[in-house]
Copies of this chain bind each other. A is one copy, B any other.
Amino acid sequence: MPFPSRFKHCSNCGAAVDYRVPADDNRERAVCPACHTIHYQNPLNVVGTLPVWEADGRVLLCRRAIEPRYGLWTLPAGFMELGETTAEGALRETQEEAGADVEMGPLYTLLNVVRVGQIHLFYRARLRSPEFNPGPESLEARLFAEDEIPWDEIAFKTTRETLRCFFDDRRQGRAFQLHAIDIP
């Protein structure tokens, strides 16, 4: 998950861009000397779920079949697309990566990962079935009890933090309110 690479050419006309601070702005932007388009680069949203099988309280993780972090475990999540809400994107990723049938719950964690220009949003979700059908991005999808979580093989800090919040809240008997977390 590298910081987005800088534009070299104008996506409108193809000319090589200059980097300068436009009038009425205070940051350097990619500006096209030919068609004068200003190109902005902005953070991206990653949306996913924390799917729970309520019969025994186990949570669903997927083992990544793609880089980065091939072979490590993650909550189902991916880049939000145009044309969908954050919750719709989270549901889509859960279906695509785990083939899981879930009922969506409320937003549970919002994690800022400034270093890579990403915001991760995880929704709680209730599994309707303990059967999965992982897609091509996952080697495997399975349920883990708290004491089975492979903490040393978790792909991303945002998954780790979301799991930690959930198990802490549940152990303390707290309501599952939104956790807003900045990842260093």
Contacts and interface: CB of A to CB of B under 8 A. Distances in A.
A182 B10 contact: no
A106 B180 contact: yes
A4, A40, A83, A85: residue with the most chain B Cβ atoms closer than 10 Å: A85
A24 interface: yes
Nearest to A106: B180
A118 to B, nearest CB: 10
Contacts of A178: 106-107, 177-178
B182 A85 contact: yes
Copies in the complex: 2
A136 interface: yes
Nearest to A30: B11
A42 B80 contact: yes
Contacts of A45: 42-43, 45, 119
Contacts of A144: none
A171 interface: no
B9 A10 contact: yes
Nearest to A41: B82
A136 B42 contact: no
Contacts of A21: none
Rank and list the top 7 A-B pairs by shortest CB-CB distance, nearest first.
Answer: A9-B14, A85-B112, A14-B14, A7-B11, A82-B117, A11-B11, A178-B178
